[in-house]
Amino acid sequence: MSERKFAVIGHPIGHTMSPFIHKRLFELASLEGEYTVIDVAPEELPEKINELNKLAGYNITIPNKQEIIPFLDGLDKKAALYGSVNTVKNGSSREGFTTDPDGFLKALAAAGIPFEGNICIIGCGGVARTFVYEAALAGCDITIAVRPEDKEIRDALAAEVREKLGGKEISVCLLSELEESSLCPQLLVNATPVGMYPKTDAMPVSEKVIARSRNVFDAIYNPLETKLIRTAKEFGKTAVGGMAMLVWQAVVSHEIWDGTVYDTEDINKLILDSAKEMEKSFR
């Protein structure tokens, strides 16, 4: 059994791809690492923190990403900015990181999609927050498009990012207005669950909007290729799905724990293998 123990903590934590992905990342790096799943509800953190402190490192998923913070000694810059931690490295101190933002940026970079110019983000929930923050940090022109019932949440997110990061004005519109507009985004990002398994025939926007977009990113990782991604590719666009982000954010955890640098080809293969594993295990 390995001396180096890692885990993912969450609650409930029945369905997670983390052990599959992280075990493969240890193998690719030829490093020992045992990776398990620990069910921890937020109210159990005080009694379980000693157990967690004995691990070399761990990942955190819903609902503990904020709740873990008081138990740590420090946060890196992005974890502090987002007020959210998904990776902890234990050593002489307990340090918290968030790897979702860099997972997103690395997924785009590996696909050859530039993160600049005008970005249109559909949706304003959890993952959209990451995309809007990163686009603001990168100095992009941002448009957030939502359905009418989400207007208030969208306006609050835009105001929060403007206040925290300043930068360029953030445009907001309804999805219906996006359909009729002449906006030609450098990057169209789906941050809604529209198109996710089992409703795989749905798309968050029409073909008209996809045709006007230069590149497409879909946060959805089940299926590997959503209808949005397939349609974008048929139109000759560069398009990448959420499994790439899921795997790359795990890669960033290993950079933090071990300083490992991976080969992009190995990670691309892991993305395909993870999609096959997901179909086997979660459908």
Residues catalogued as catalytic: 65
Task: Count other C-beta atoms under 10 Å from residue 208's C-beta.
Answer: 10
- DSSP β-bridge partners for residue 27: none
In angstroms, give the least distance from the CB of 93 to ligand NAP: 27
Best CA proximity match to 52, nearest among 15, 99, 94? 94
Best CA proximity match to 208, nearest among 174, 239, 172, 177? 177
Q: Which residues of 110-147 are buried (b: 16+ CB within 10 A; e: fewer)?
A: bbebebeebbbbbbbeebbbbbbbbbbbeebbbbbbbb
In angstroms, give the least distance from the CB of 80 to ligand NAP: 20
The residue (of 74 and 159) whose beta carbon lies closer to ligand NAP is 159
Using rule CB under 6 A, residue 135 touches ligand NAP? no
Would you call 158 exposed, middle or buried from its count of C-beta atoms within 10 A (0-12, 13-18, 19+)? buried
The residue (of 8 and 245) whose beta carbon lies closer to ligand NAP is 245
Q: Which of 3, 43, 47, 149: binder of ligand NAP (CB under 6 A)?
A: 149
Q: Which of 161, 220, 240, 252: binder of ligand NAP (CB under 6 A)?
A: 220
In angstroms, give the least distance from the CB of 273 to ligand NAP: 16
CA distance 232 to 212: 10
Among the candidate windows 125-133, 160-168, 177-185, 250-258, which touches ligand NAP by CB under 6 A?
A: 125-133
The residue (of 56 and 146) whose beta carbon lies closer to ligand NAP is 146
Angle between helices 264-282 and 100-111 (to 10 degrees): 110
Q: Which of 113, 119, 127, 256: binder of ligand NAP (CB under 6 A)?
A: 127
Site string for ligand NAP, 162-201 (x = CB under 6 A): -----------------------------xxxx-x-----
Parallel/antiparallel/unpaired status of strands 87-90 and 94-97 = antiparallel
Enumerate binding residues for ligand NAP (CB under 6 A).
Answer: 123-128, 147, 149-150, 191-194, 196, 204, 219-221, 242, 245-246, 249
